[in-house]
Amino acid sequence: MTENFLPRLHRFAAARFSPEGEYGLYLTAGVAMLLVAMAVFAQMAGAVVAGAPITQLDVEVANWLHAHARTDNLLRQVLLVVTHVHSTPGILILALCVGIWLYRKSHRYWIVALVASVPGGQILNVLLKHTFERARPHFAEPLLELSTYSFPSGHAMGATVLYGFIACYAARHARSLAGRVLPFVLALAMVATVAFSRMYLGVHYLSDVLAAFAEGCGWLAICITGAATLNRRKRARERRASAAVEQQDI
């Protein structure tokens, strides 16, 4: 029995790490990213719920940023623009522009992944906010006042999904190593800017944006991996059908 099991295990592992096939390396990488993101998010959520030391760090960082935000008018105005552009309507408008580009390129499965990841991610974030019901930072003289919940950050999650999606698309079609790495560097910079704007303006804690980043990475992994798997399965079916027709003609 062991003699039969080991070859099957080897074939299974080889298939999971092969760049070819319906359930190869793409699916393996997507599942791995999902599991890591879920673990990080669960750790952050557990710490927030339990009042772990990171919540004290949250308050200290929030107070320090709020004090500086009240004295630096130029940076505050710039970050206000950043945060408004990446509101829910702003993210959806940016995603629509990306969707139009993909439609013109006839990239059907990328559009499926985009629709699932960005609007779907916004819905997921609302559900999580109402699950944890964490109050936003409170200040005597707030720069912004919002009545919604704080954990996790919707702006940071939306930016992670949108710019992460664009980075994946650009890297997939790049022809060099630099072209595959640079999109992710730029995406990370954009996400960090959006996350910082939310903390600087006093509407989110540090743990809110960190958890949102993990949430966004996990959700994006599901959406892109799912769309890619559907696309690869379709191609595999087409190849099998073509091979069957050729076999009949022989």
CATH number where 161 lies: 1.20.144
Please state the pTM of the whole predicted model.
Answer: 0.83
Q: Is residue 168 part of a domain?
A: yes
What is the Cα–Cα distance from 101 to 105, expressed in whole angstroms?
6
Q: Is residue 221 part of a domain?
A: yes
Composition of the chain by helix, strand, coil, percent to 5: 80, 0, 20
In the chain, how many domains are there?
Answer: 1
Based on its alpha-carbon atoms, the radius of gyration of the chain, rounded to whole angstroms, reads 22
Q: Is residue 22 part of a domain?
A: no
Lowest-confidence region among 63-77, 114-128, 204-218: 63-77
Q: Is residue 93 part of a domain?
A: yes
Position 86 pLDDT exceeds 50: yes
Residues labelled catalytic? 155, 204
Q: Which of these, 206, 209, 200, 204, lies nearest to 74 by C-alpha position?
A: 200
Give the long-range contacts of residues 242-246, CB within 8 A, separation 24 or more. Answer: none
Position 213 pLDDT exceeds 80: yes
What is the percent of the chain with per-residue pLDDT over 90, rounded to a whole number?
Answer: 49
What is the Cα–Cα distance from 205 to 184, expressed in whole angstroms?
24
Q: Is residue 240 part of a domain?
A: no
Range of the domain at 215: 54-234
Q: Is residue 222 part of a domain?
A: yes
Q: Is residue 89 part of a domain?
A: yes
Q: Is residue 12 part of a domain?
A: no
